[in-house]
Amino acid sequence: IRCKAAVAWEAGKPLVMEEVEVAPPQNHEVRIKILFTSLCHTDVYFWEAKGQTPLFPRIFGHEAGGIVESVGEGVTDLQPGDHVLPIFTGECGDCRHCHSGESNMCDLLRINTERGGMIHDGESRFSINGKPIHHFLGTSTFSEYTVVQSGQVAKINPDAPLDKVCIVSCGLSTGLGATLNVAKPKKGQSIAIFGLGAVGLAAAEGARIAGASRIIGVDLNSKRFDQAKEFGVTEFVNPRDHDKPVQQVIAEMTDGGVDRSVECTGSVQAMIQAFECVHDGWGVAVLVGVPSKDDAFKTHPMNLLNERTLKGTFFGNYKPKTDIPGVVEKYMNKELELEKFITHTVPFSEINKAFDYMLKGES
């Protein structure tokens, strides 16, 4: 199939609309017609090529909704016409992680930012005049058609509006699941959310759904506080406004600490603060943000011995094929609000505008 794709030819340079050729799906692959794609900060990070191996030319994109156009050999659970969300991580169904009821970190299809081809043969399914274009996260949704390993494709309710549920593919599920599946606040408990970007706001949405009584938002940018009220955040702390550590500020606000905390910044400082601000005896802190490679987490062991729990999560502990259709159903049942997460809509041909909005912090 020949179609339009937004190709990144080099780091940090505007994407270029090109006509690409998309090969048919091979063994255990599906070709998807992408109808809506959203932009995640991870796309921007790898497009800027900061701190990792640059791989160009490349087609970015990993939050999207579309319809299966064709399936390769061995695909039995998907067929042309299915409404789907391609996901940056997968569920092969065969490895120890997939068989475990406690993990969603598939051995075969776990996120791999270095891979530019498909798992089946290492080759790209995208080309321009016979020259291959690298894939991104096995999804490459900044293309009108893409090829994805079938274990990375969640089949969803065909009545769900793809322009809304496309955001379930990454950041929204990561934040929502960090609260609902990992922190698990009980009704009436307090929770602190560190970082009020899209993932942090999704974590707050999870806290709202769980019935938390106090949702404390922590961010260095006070401009984010007004918007966060829509997501159930009840109180705000900007660490810059205080001359004592923020964990101490929160402990004083909450009679010894919050019941739960979720860290969504990637700052190792915020991770330590999120852990140290939970109440001893029962407090649970969940780390979501991805730290820099040389970071080290430092806290006094007494913080653990005093019965605080520290947990990490990947993609909100959701198994892509098994669990993500249920997240879509939460939206269809009006338990989950997605519209408020969407700040701008731009035509695919103007995708660079979306990058500008994100780089300026306007989206």
Residues of the chain with pLDDT under 70: 51
Q: What gap in Å lies between CA 39 and CA 50, rounded to an integer?
A: 18
pLDDT at residue 51, rounded to an integer: 61
Rounded to two decimals, the pTM is: 0.95
pLDDT at residue 353, rounded to an integer: 97
Q: What gap in Å lies between CA 35 and CA 37, rounded to an integer?
A: 7
- Residue 238 has phi, psi (to 5 degrees) of -105, 115
Dihedral sign from CA coordinates of 75, 79, 82, 86: positive
Spatial CA neighbour of 274 closest among 231, 245, 240: 245
Spatial CA neighbour of 151 closest among 314, 25, 328, 289: 25
Bridge partner residues of 286 (DSSP)? 262, 311
Tell me the pLDDT tens digit for each residue of 240-277: 999 999 999 999 999 999 999 999 999 999 999 999 99
On the question of a cis peptide bond just before residue 57, with omega within 30 degrees of 0, the verdict is: yes
Q: Do 235 and 214 touch, CB atoms closer than 8 A?
A: yes
Tell me the pLDDT tens digit for each residue of 10-36: 999 999 999 999 999 999 999 999 999
pLDDT at residue 44, rounded to an integer: 92
End-to-end CA distance of the chain: 33
> Token pair for residue 41?
């900060």
Domains contained in the chain, CATH given:
2-169+319-360 (3.90.180.10), 174-314 (3.40.50.720)
Count the neighbouring beta carbons within 10 Å of the beta carbon of residue 188: 11
CB burial class (10 A; 0-12, 13-18, 19+) of residue 239?
middle
